[in-house]
Structure 1
Amino acid sequence: MYHYPVQRNTTEKPWTMKVTGTGTVAAAPDQAVIITGVETEDMSLQEAQSANSASIQRIIDALIRAGIPESQIQTSEFRINPVYDFKDGEQVFRGYKVTNLLKITLYDMTVIGSIIDTATANGANIVRGVEFSLQHTDVIYNQALTEALRQAEQKAQTIARSLHANLNAIPQSVIENPDTSQPSPFFTATALQAAPTPIEPGQLMIKADVLVSYHYYL
Protein backbone atom coordinates (compact mmCIF):
# COMPACT_ATOMS: atom_id res chain seq x y z
CA MET A 1 0.00 0.00 0.00
CA TYR A 2 2.77 2.44 0.93
CA HIS A 3 5.69 3.63 -1.25
CA TYR A 4 8.83 4.39 0.71
CA PRO A 5 11.32 7.01 -0.50
CA VAL A 6 14.91 6.29 -1.30
CA GLN A 7 17.38 6.83 1.54
CA ARG A 8 18.05 10.52 2.05
CA ASN A 9 20.69 12.47 3.86
CA THR A 10 19.29 12.64 7.40
CA THR A 11 20.37 16.29 7.62
CA GLU A 12 18.09 17.25 4.74
CA LYS A 13 15.10 19.23 5.90
CA PRO A 14 11.74 17.53 5.28
CA TRP A 15 8.79 19.55 4.11
CA THR A 16 5.28 18.87 5.38
CA MET A 17 2.03 18.60 3.50
CA LYS A 18 -1.45 18.09 4.92
CA VAL A 19 -4.16 16.33 2.92
CA THR A 20 -7.70 15.25 3.66
CA GLY A 21 -9.42 11.98 2.89
CA THR A 22 -13.02 10.89 3.04
CA GLY A 23 -14.43 7.39 3.11
CA THR A 24 -18.13 6.59 2.97
CA VAL A 25 -19.73 3.16 3.32
CA ALA A 26 -23.44 2.42 2.91
CA ALA A 27 -24.93 -0.24 5.17
CA ALA A 28 -28.41 -1.62 5.70
CA PRO A 29 -29.65 -0.97 9.26
CA ASP A 30 -30.15 -3.99 11.49
CA GLN A 31 -31.81 -2.25 14.44
CA ALA A 32 -34.88 -0.03 14.69
CA VAL A 33 -36.46 1.82 17.62
CA ILE A 34 -40.15 2.75 17.54
CA ILE A 35 -41.49 5.35 19.96
CA THR A 36 -45.23 4.97 20.38
CA GLY A 37 -47.79 5.28 23.13
CA VAL A 38 -50.98 6.75 24.48
CA GLU A 39 -52.21 10.19 25.44
CA THR A 40 -55.40 10.45 27.51
CA GLU A 41 -57.35 13.40 28.91
CA ASP A 42 -59.96 13.64 31.64
CA MET A 43 -61.18 16.11 34.22
CA SER A 44 -60.23 13.52 36.81
CA LEU A 45 -56.54 12.74 37.09
CA GLN A 46 -57.35 9.28 38.42
CA GLU A 47 -59.59 8.55 35.42
CA ALA A 48 -56.98 9.82 32.97
CA GLN A 49 -54.27 7.66 34.55
CA SER A 50 -56.52 4.61 34.73
CA ALA A 51 -57.52 4.85 31.07
CA ASN A 52 -53.93 5.43 30.04
CA SER A 53 -52.63 2.49 32.06
CA ALA A 54 -55.25 0.17 30.57
CA SER A 55 -54.42 1.24 27.02
CA ILE A 56 -50.67 0.87 27.51
CA GLN A 57 -51.08 -2.59 29.00
CA ARG A 58 -53.28 -3.60 26.06
CA ILE A 59 -50.57 -2.45 23.65
CA ILE A 60 -47.81 -4.30 25.56
CA ASP A 61 -49.86 -7.52 25.63
CA ALA A 62 -50.52 -7.25 21.89
CA LEU A 63 -46.83 -6.67 21.14
CA ILE A 64 -45.82 -9.71 23.17
CA ARG A 65 -48.42 -11.80 21.32
CA ALA A 66 -46.88 -10.50 18.09
CA GLY A 67 -43.55 -11.99 19.14
CA ILE A 68 -41.73 -9.02 20.66
CA PRO A 69 -39.85 -10.03 23.84
CA GLU A 70 -40.82 -8.02 26.91
CA SER A 71 -37.15 -7.04 27.33
CA GLN A 72 -37.40 -5.08 24.06
CA ILE A 73 -40.35 -3.01 25.32
CA GLN A 74 -39.49 -0.19 27.72
CA THR A 75 -41.14 2.95 29.04
CA SER A 76 -39.63 5.88 27.18
CA GLU A 77 -41.54 8.77 28.73
CA PHE A 78 -44.31 9.36 31.27
CA ARG A 79 -45.84 12.79 31.88
CA ILE A 80 -48.84 14.32 33.61
CA ASN A 81 -49.81 17.85 32.61
CA PRO A 82 -52.78 20.08 33.47
CA VAL A 83 -54.67 21.26 30.41
CA TYR A 84 -56.13 24.75 30.08
CA ASP A 85 -58.29 26.58 27.57
CA PHE A 86 -58.41 30.34 27.18
CA LYS A 87 -61.87 31.89 27.24
CA ASP A 88 -62.44 35.63 27.20
CA GLY A 89 -58.77 36.13 27.97
CA GLU A 90 -58.91 33.91 31.04
CA GLN A 91 -57.34 30.54 31.70
CA VAL A 92 -59.95 27.83 32.18
CA PHE A 93 -58.97 24.44 33.59
CA ARG A 94 -59.96 21.63 31.20
CA GLY A 95 -58.52 18.60 32.97
CA TYR A 96 -55.39 16.49 32.95
CA LYS A 97 -53.38 14.99 30.12
CA VAL A 98 -51.43 11.78 30.76
CA THR A 99 -48.77 10.79 28.23
CA ASN A 100 -47.13 7.37 28.33
CA LEU A 101 -44.66 6.39 25.60
CA LEU A 102 -43.04 3.03 24.88
CA LYS A 103 -39.68 2.37 23.29
CA ILE A 104 -39.82 -0.78 21.16
CA THR A 105 -36.50 -2.16 19.89
CA LEU A 106 -36.59 -4.41 16.83
CA TYR A 107 -33.91 -6.44 15.08
CA ASP A 108 -36.08 -7.71 12.22
CA MET A 109 -36.56 -4.85 9.76
CA THR A 110 -39.38 -6.68 7.97
CA VAL A 111 -41.83 -6.43 10.89
CA ILE A 112 -41.61 -2.69 11.61
CA GLY A 113 -44.78 -1.78 9.74
CA SER A 114 -46.81 -4.59 11.28
CA ILE A 115 -45.64 -3.71 14.79
CA ILE A 116 -46.69 -0.08 14.31
CA ASP A 117 -50.07 -1.32 13.04
CA THR A 118 -50.39 -3.62 16.06
CA ALA A 119 -49.73 -0.74 18.44
CA THR A 120 -52.18 1.65 16.77
CA ALA A 121 -54.85 -1.06 16.47
CA ASN A 122 -54.65 -1.59 20.22
CA GLY A 123 -54.97 2.01 21.30
CA ALA A 124 -51.74 3.85 20.48
CA ASN A 125 -52.58 7.39 19.38
CA ILE A 126 -48.99 8.66 19.29
CA VAL A 127 -46.22 7.44 17.01
CA ARG A 128 -43.21 9.68 17.53
CA GLY A 129 -41.06 8.03 14.90
CA VAL A 130 -38.78 5.18 13.84
CA GLU A 131 -35.03 5.47 14.25
CA PHE A 132 -32.73 3.12 12.33
CA SER A 133 -29.22 2.21 13.40
CA LEU A 134 -26.49 -0.42 13.30
CA GLN A 135 -25.67 -2.77 16.15
CA HIS A 136 -21.97 -2.84 15.22
CA THR A 137 -21.19 0.58 13.74
CA ASP A 138 -17.47 0.18 14.48
CA VAL A 139 -17.03 -2.55 11.83
CA ILE A 140 -18.52 -0.36 9.08
CA TYR A 141 -16.69 2.74 10.34
CA ASN A 142 -13.34 0.94 10.10
CA GLN A 143 -14.07 0.21 6.43
CA ALA A 144 -14.83 3.90 5.85
CA LEU A 145 -11.65 4.87 7.73
CA THR A 146 -9.53 2.58 5.56
CA GLU A 147 -10.98 4.19 2.44
CA ALA A 148 -10.36 7.69 3.85
CA LEU A 149 -6.70 6.90 4.55
CA ARG A 150 -6.28 5.39 1.09
CA GLN A 151 -7.73 8.53 -0.49
CA ALA A 152 -5.45 10.78 1.57
CA GLU A 153 -2.37 8.81 0.52
CA GLN A 154 -3.36 9.02 -3.15
CA LYS A 155 -3.69 12.80 -2.85
CA ALA A 156 -0.28 13.04 -1.19
CA GLN A 157 1.32 10.93 -3.94
CA THR A 158 -0.26 13.12 -6.63
CA ILE A 159 1.06 16.28 -4.99
CA ALA A 160 4.54 14.78 -4.56
CA ARG A 161 4.70 13.75 -8.22
CA SER A 162 3.62 17.25 -9.27
CA LEU A 163 6.46 18.71 -7.17
CA HIS A 164 8.98 16.07 -8.35
CA ALA A 165 9.45 15.26 -4.68
CA ASN A 166 10.04 12.09 -2.72
CA LEU A 167 7.20 11.26 -0.37
CA ASN A 168 7.58 9.51 2.96
CA ALA A 169 4.34 7.55 2.82
CA ILE A 170 4.35 6.91 6.56
CA PRO A 171 1.99 9.57 7.98
CA GLN A 172 3.41 11.93 10.56
CA SER A 173 -0.05 12.42 12.07
CA VAL A 174 -3.65 11.37 11.44
CA ILE A 175 -6.64 13.27 12.82
CA GLU A 176 -10.02 11.56 12.59
CA ASN A 177 -13.44 13.15 12.32
CA PRO A 178 -16.05 10.35 12.38
CA ASP A 179 -19.55 11.01 11.09
CA THR A 180 -22.25 8.35 11.44
CA SER A 181 -25.22 10.02 9.83
CA GLN A 182 -28.36 7.97 10.21
CA PRO A 183 -31.76 8.81 8.70
CA SER A 184 -34.64 8.94 11.17
CA PRO A 185 -37.97 8.86 9.30
CA PHE A 186 -40.85 10.40 11.21
CA PHE A 187 -44.45 9.20 11.07
CA THR A 188 -47.55 10.67 12.70
CA ALA A 189 -50.41 8.71 14.22
CA THR A 190 -52.86 10.31 11.80
CA ALA A 191 -50.93 9.14 8.76
CA LEU A 192 -50.73 5.60 10.11
CA GLN A 193 -54.43 5.05 10.61
CA ALA A 194 -55.44 4.82 6.96
CA ALA A 195 -53.64 1.71 5.65
CA PRO A 196 -51.07 -0.97 6.47
CA THR A 197 -47.80 0.81 7.17
CA PRO A 198 -44.95 0.24 4.69
CA ILE A 199 -41.57 1.06 6.21
CA GLU A 200 -38.40 1.10 4.09
CA PRO A 201 -35.27 1.41 6.25
CA GLY A 202 -33.06 2.50 3.36
CA GLN A 203 -29.31 2.78 3.85
CA LEU A 204 -27.23 4.32 6.61
CA MET A 205 -24.21 6.29 5.44
CA ILE A 206 -21.17 5.85 7.68
CA LYS A 207 -18.47 8.42 6.92
CA ALA A 208 -14.92 8.93 8.11
CA ASP A 209 -12.90 12.09 7.49
CA VAL A 210 -9.16 12.29 8.12
CA LEU A 211 -6.53 15.01 8.05
CA VAL A 212 -3.13 13.43 7.37
CA SER A 213 0.31 15.02 7.53
CA TYR A 214 3.18 13.67 5.40
CA HIS A 215 6.85 14.56 5.07
CA TYR A 216 8.32 15.01 1.60
CA TYR A 217 11.75 15.92 0.27
CA LEU A 218 12.61 18.18 -2.67
Structure 2
Amino acid sequence: MQMRLRQRMAAGVLVAALAGPAFAQVSDPAAGSLAAATLTVMGEGRVDQAPDMARITLGVTTEGPTAAEALTANSAEIAKVIENLKAAGVAPADLQTTGLALNPNWQSNMDDGTNRIVGYVASNSVSVQVRALEGLGAVLDAAVRDGANTLNGVEFTLQDPDPALDEARKRAVADAQHRAALLAGAAGVTLGPIRSITESGGYQPPMPMMSMAAEAKGGVPMAAGSVTTAAQVTIIWALAP
Protein backbone atom coordinates (compact mmCIF):
# COMPACT_ATOMS: atom_id res chain seq x y z
CA MET A 1 0.00 0.00 0.00
CA GLN A 2 2.85 2.42 0.87
CA MET A 3 4.51 1.62 -2.48
CA ARG A 4 1.30 2.39 -4.41
CA LEU A 5 0.88 5.66 -2.52
CA ARG A 6 4.43 6.74 -3.37
CA GLN A 7 3.84 5.89 -7.06
CA ARG A 8 0.65 7.95 -7.08
CA MET A 9 2.37 10.97 -5.52
CA ALA A 10 5.25 10.71 -7.99
CA ALA A 11 2.78 10.69 -10.88
CA GLY A 12 1.14 13.79 -9.48
CA VAL A 13 4.46 15.62 -9.34
CA LEU A 14 5.22 14.62 -12.94
CA VAL A 15 1.89 15.96 -14.22
CA ALA A 16 2.41 19.30 -12.48
CA ALA A 17 5.92 19.62 -13.90
CA LEU A 18 4.76 18.90 -17.45
CA ALA A 19 1.84 21.28 -17.36
CA GLY A 20 3.28 24.35 -15.69
CA PRO A 21 1.40 26.35 -13.06
CA ALA A 22 -0.57 28.38 -15.61
CA PHE A 23 -2.37 25.40 -17.09
CA ALA A 24 -2.57 22.43 -14.75
CA GLN A 25 -2.30 21.43 -11.14
CA VAL A 26 -2.42 18.05 -9.43
CA SER A 27 -3.71 17.71 -5.90
CA ASP A 28 -2.95 14.58 -3.89
CA PRO A 29 -3.32 15.33 -0.16
CA ALA A 30 -0.97 13.21 1.88
CA ALA A 31 -3.62 12.72 4.51
CA GLY A 32 -6.30 11.74 2.04
CA SER A 33 -7.03 8.68 -0.02
CA LEU A 34 -5.82 8.05 -3.56
CA ALA A 35 -9.32 8.83 -4.83
CA ALA A 36 -8.90 12.43 -3.60
CA ALA A 37 -6.21 13.19 -6.21
CA THR A 38 -7.34 15.71 -8.84
CA LEU A 39 -6.05 17.33 -12.01
CA THR A 40 -6.93 20.99 -12.73
CA VAL A 41 -6.54 22.27 -16.28
CA MET A 42 -7.34 25.60 -17.92
CA GLY A 43 -8.45 25.69 -21.55
CA GLU A 44 -8.92 28.58 -23.96
CA GLY A 45 -11.05 28.91 -27.06
CA ARG A 46 -10.90 31.64 -29.71
CA VAL A 47 -13.11 32.50 -32.66
CA ASP A 48 -11.99 34.91 -35.40
CA GLN A 49 -14.52 36.35 -37.81
CA ALA A 50 -15.25 39.41 -39.89
CA PRO A 51 -17.01 42.25 -38.03
CA ASP A 52 -20.48 43.36 -39.07
CA MET A 53 -20.69 46.69 -37.23
CA ALA A 54 -18.52 49.71 -36.49
CA ARG A 55 -18.69 52.31 -33.73
CA ILE A 56 -17.25 55.76 -34.31
CA THR A 57 -17.10 58.76 -32.00
CA LEU A 58 -16.96 62.14 -33.66
CA GLY A 59 -17.83 65.67 -32.73
CA VAL A 60 -17.65 69.40 -33.20
CA THR A 61 -15.48 71.94 -31.41
CA THR A 62 -16.24 75.65 -31.82
CA GLU A 63 -14.99 78.90 -30.35
CA GLY A 64 -16.81 82.15 -29.54
CA PRO A 65 -16.21 85.43 -27.75
CA THR A 66 -18.88 84.53 -25.19
CA ALA A 67 -20.07 81.25 -23.72
CA ALA A 68 -23.50 81.68 -25.31
CA GLU A 69 -22.06 82.34 -28.77
CA ALA A 70 -19.69 79.37 -28.58
CA LEU A 71 -22.48 77.04 -27.49
CA THR A 72 -24.95 78.38 -30.06
CA ALA A 73 -22.47 77.91 -32.89
CA ASN A 74 -21.63 74.42 -31.66
CA SER A 75 -25.29 73.41 -31.45
CA ALA A 76 -25.90 74.53 -35.01
CA GLU A 77 -22.90 72.59 -36.32
CA ILE A 78 -23.65 69.36 -34.45
CA ALA A 79 -27.26 69.53 -35.66
CA LYS A 80 -26.00 69.58 -39.26
CA VAL A 81 -23.69 66.66 -38.56
CA ILE A 82 -26.54 64.59 -37.13
CA GLU A 83 -28.80 65.38 -40.08
CA ASN A 84 -26.05 64.35 -42.51
CA LEU A 85 -25.56 61.09 -40.64
CA LYS A 86 -29.26 60.33 -40.84
CA ALA A 87 -29.26 61.14 -44.54
CA ALA A 88 -26.35 58.70 -44.96
CA GLY A 89 -28.53 55.91 -43.57
CA VAL A 90 -27.71 55.93 -39.86
CA ALA A 91 -30.83 55.20 -37.78
CA PRO A 92 -31.71 57.68 -35.01
CA ALA A 93 -31.41 54.85 -32.46
CA ASP A 94 -27.75 54.43 -33.48
CA LEU A 95 -26.88 58.05 -32.61
CA GLN A 96 -26.10 59.07 -29.04
CA THR A 97 -24.60 62.21 -27.53
CA THR A 98 -21.65 61.12 -25.38
CA GLY A 99 -20.04 64.39 -24.36
CA LEU A 100 -20.85 68.09 -24.06
CA ALA A 101 -18.39 70.62 -22.66
CA LEU A 102 -18.01 74.40 -22.45
CA ASN A 103 -14.74 75.89 -21.19
CA PRO A 104 -13.08 79.29 -21.07
CA ASN A 105 -10.17 79.92 -23.39
CA TRP A 106 -7.39 81.38 -21.25
CA GLN A 107 -4.54 83.49 -22.55
CA SER A 108 -1.36 84.10 -20.56
CA ASN A 109 0.41 87.45 -20.46
CA MET A 110 4.14 86.75 -20.47
CA ASP A 111 4.95 90.29 -19.29
CA ASP A 112 3.10 90.33 -15.97
CA GLY A 113 2.26 86.63 -15.55
CA THR A 114 -1.50 87.20 -15.50
CA ASN A 115 -4.17 85.15 -17.25
CA ARG A 116 -7.37 86.35 -18.84
CA ILE A 117 -10.31 84.81 -20.64
CA VAL A 118 -10.28 85.65 -24.35
CA GLY A 119 -13.24 83.50 -25.36
CA TYR A 120 -14.94 80.17 -24.89
CA VAL A 121 -14.62 76.70 -26.42
CA ALA A 122 -17.65 74.42 -26.80
CA SER A 123 -17.42 70.75 -27.78
CA ASN A 124 -20.03 68.10 -28.45
CA SER A 125 -19.36 64.46 -29.32
CA VAL A 126 -21.66 61.82 -30.78
CA SER A 127 -21.32 58.03 -30.79
CA VAL A 128 -22.43 56.45 -34.08
CA GLN A 129 -23.16 52.79 -34.77
CA VAL A 130 -22.77 51.81 -38.42
CA ARG A 131 -24.46 48.49 -39.18
CA ALA A 132 -23.70 48.44 -42.92
CA LEU A 133 -19.91 48.43 -43.15
CA GLU A 134 -19.92 48.92 -46.90
CA GLY A 135 -21.21 52.42 -46.25
CA LEU A 136 -18.81 53.32 -43.44
CA GLY A 137 -16.61 55.53 -45.60
CA ALA A 138 -19.61 57.44 -46.88
CA VAL A 139 -20.85 57.95 -43.33
CA LEU A 140 -17.52 59.46 -42.32
CA ASP A 141 -17.60 61.75 -45.35
CA ALA A 142 -21.11 62.87 -44.46
CA ALA A 143 -20.07 63.60 -40.88
CA VAL A 144 -17.17 65.90 -41.77
CA ARG A 145 -18.86 67.57 -44.74
CA ASP A 146 -20.61 70.25 -42.68
CA GLY A 147 -19.06 70.60 -39.27
CA ALA A 148 -17.53 67.54 -37.61
CA ASN A 149 -13.90 68.39 -36.87
CA THR A 150 -12.97 65.74 -34.28
CA LEU A 151 -12.79 61.98 -34.75
CA ASN A 152 -11.88 59.75 -31.80
CA GLY A 153 -11.38 56.43 -33.54
CA VAL A 154 -13.24 53.55 -35.15
CA GLU A 155 -14.05 50.28 -33.35
CA PHE A 156 -15.09 47.21 -35.35
CA THR A 157 -17.28 44.72 -33.51
CA LEU A 158 -20.17 42.25 -33.78
CA GLN A 159 -23.83 43.12 -33.58
CA ASP A 160 -24.56 39.79 -31.86
CA PRO A 161 -21.45 38.31 -30.19
CA ASP A 162 -23.33 35.46 -28.46
CA PRO A 163 -22.91 32.79 -31.21
CA ALA A 164 -19.17 33.47 -31.39
CA LEU A 165 -18.92 33.37 -27.60
CA ASP A 166 -20.79 30.05 -27.42
CA GLU A 167 -18.39 28.55 -29.97
CA ALA A 168 -15.40 29.94 -28.07
CA ARG A 169 -16.67 28.28 -24.90
CA LYS A 170 -16.98 24.93 -26.70
CA ARG A 171 -13.44 25.26 -27.98
CA ALA A 172 -12.19 26.16 -24.51
CA VAL A 173 -13.70 22.97 -23.06
CA ALA A 174 -12.23 20.90 -25.90
CA ASP A 175 -8.84 22.51 -25.30
CA ALA A 176 -8.98 21.67 -21.60
CA GLN A 177 -9.99 18.08 -22.36
CA HIS A 178 -7.10 17.71 -24.79
CA ARG A 179 -4.59 19.07 -22.27
CA ALA A 180 -5.93 16.85 -19.50
CA ALA A 181 -5.74 13.70 -21.62
CA LEU A 182 -2.19 14.55 -22.71
CA LEU A 183 -0.99 15.25 -19.18
CA ALA A 184 -2.65 12.20 -17.71
CA GLY A 185 -1.18 9.96 -20.42
CA ALA A 186 2.31 11.39 -19.92
CA ALA A 187 2.07 10.83 -16.17
CA GLY A 188 0.66 7.34 -16.47
CA VAL A 189 -2.55 8.13 -14.60
CA THR A 190 -6.20 7.78 -15.55
CA LEU A 191 -8.73 10.57 -15.63
CA GLY A 192 -11.83 10.06 -13.57
CA PRO A 193 -15.10 12.03 -13.63
CA ILE A 194 -15.18 15.81 -13.90
CA ARG A 195 -15.69 17.45 -10.53
CA SER A 196 -16.24 21.04 -11.64
CA ILE A 197 -16.21 23.35 -14.67
CA THR A 198 -15.70 27.08 -14.16
CA GLU A 199 -15.62 29.84 -16.74
CA SER A 200 -12.52 31.54 -15.42
CA GLY A 201 -11.93 35.23 -15.83
CA GLY A 202 -15.10 35.84 -17.83
CA TYR A 203 -14.40 36.22 -21.54
CA GLN A 204 -12.66 38.58 -23.91
CA PRO A 205 -15.09 40.68 -25.91
CA PRO A 206 -14.53 40.97 -29.64
CA MET A 207 -11.16 42.63 -30.26
CA PRO A 208 -10.08 44.11 -33.60
CA MET A 209 -7.29 42.43 -35.53
CA MET A 210 -6.35 44.31 -38.68
CA SER A 211 -5.71 41.58 -41.23
CA MET A 212 -8.32 41.81 -43.98
CA ALA A 213 -8.98 44.89 -46.11
CA ALA A 214 -12.58 46.00 -46.43
CA GLU A 215 -13.75 48.22 -49.26
CA ALA A 216 -15.49 51.42 -48.23
CA LYS A 217 -17.39 52.58 -51.28
CA GLY A 218 -17.66 56.27 -51.96
CA GLY A 219 -15.71 57.47 -48.94
CA VAL A 220 -12.71 57.13 -46.65
CA PRO A 221 -10.86 53.81 -47.23
CA MET A 222 -11.14 51.55 -44.17
CA ALA A 223 -9.72 48.17 -43.09
CA ALA A 224 -12.27 46.19 -41.09
CA GLY A 225 -9.97 43.25 -40.39
CA SER A 226 -11.34 40.54 -38.12
CA VAL A 227 -12.47 40.40 -34.51
CA THR A 228 -11.55 37.75 -31.95
CA THR A 229 -13.90 36.42 -29.29
CA ALA A 230 -12.22 34.36 -26.57
CA ALA A 231 -13.32 32.33 -23.55
CA GLN A 232 -11.52 30.44 -20.78
CA VAL A 233 -12.62 27.53 -18.63
CA THR A 234 -11.05 25.71 -15.71
CA ILE A 235 -11.95 22.02 -15.33
CA ILE A 236 -11.10 19.77 -12.39
CA TRP A 237 -10.94 16.01 -12.94
CA ALA A 238 -10.72 13.33 -10.31
CA LEU A 239 -7.91 10.87 -10.92
CA ALA A 240 -8.99 7.27 -10.99
CA PRO A 241 -7.51 5.19 -8.14
TM beyond 0.5: yes
Q: Which amino acid aligns with 1:211?
A: T
The correspondence for 1:63, drawn from 78, 85, 91, is: 85
The correspondence for 1:80, drawn from 102, 107, 121, is: 102
Residue 223 of structure 2: aligned partner: 200
1:23-73 deviation digits (Å, cap 9, x = unpaired): 111022222111111100111122111211111111122222222222222
The correspondence for 1:107, drawn from 123, 126, 131, is: 131
Q: Which amino acid aligns with 2:37?
A: W
Q: 1 CA distance for matches of 2:93 and 2:34? A: 64
Q: Please tell me whether residue 130 in structure 1 is matched to residue 154 in structure 2.
A: yes
Q: Radius of gyration: which is bigger?
A: 2
Alpha-carbon distance, 1:153 to partner: 0.8
Q: Please tell me whether residue 179 in structure 1 is matched to residue 204 in structure 2.
A: yes
Contact 1:14 1:215 in 2 (8 A): yes
Q: Which ranges of structure 1 fall in alignment gaps of 5 or more residues?
A: 1-10, 186-194
Residue 13 of structure 1: aligned partner: 35
Superposed CA RMSD in Å reads 2.1
TM-score, with normalisation over the residues of structure 2?
Answer: 0.76
Q: Please tell me whether residue 166 in structure 1 is matched to residue 190 in structure 2.
A: yes
1:105-159 deviation digits (Å, cap 9, x = unpaired): 1111111111111111111101111122212222111111111111111111112
SS at match of 2:162: helix
Contact 2:35 2:238 in 1 (8 A): no
Distance 1:163 1:71, change over 3 A: closer
Residue 71 of structure 2: aligned partner: 49
Q: Which amino acid aligns with 1:210?
A: V
SS at match of 2:208: coil
1:73-98 deviation digits (Å, cap 9, x = unpaired): 22121111111122222212121111
Alpha-carbon distance, 1:12 to partner: 5.8
Alpha-carbon distance, 1:215 to partner: 0.8
Contact 2:63 2:120 in 1 (8 A): yes
Alpha-carbon distance, 1:196 to partner: 4.3
Q: Which amino acid aligns with 1:212?
A: I
Residue 211 of structure 1: aligned partner: 234
SS at match of 1:68: coil
Q: 1 CA distance for matches of 2:208 and 2:35? A: 48
Structure ranking higher in strand proportion: 1
SS at match of 1:29: coil
Q: Which amino acid aligns with 1:197?
A: V
Distance 1:12 1:128, change over 3 A: closer
Q: 2 CA distance for matches of 1:40 and 1:167? A: 67
Q: 1 CA distance for matches of 2:149 and 2:93? A: 23
Residue 97 of structure 1: aligned partner: 121
Contact 1:14 1:217 in 2 (8 A): no
Residue range with higher mean Cα deviation, 83-92 or 99-108: 83-92
Q: 2 CA distance for matches of 1:17 and 1:180? A: 29
Q: 1 CA distance for matches of 2:222 and 2:119? A: 36
Contact 1:23 1:144 in 2 (8 A): yes
Aligned length: 198
Residue range with higher mean Cα deviation, 129-138 or 20-29: 129-138
TM-score, with normalisation over the residues of structure 1?
Answer: 0.83
Q: Which runs of 4+ in 1 moved over 6 A?
A: none
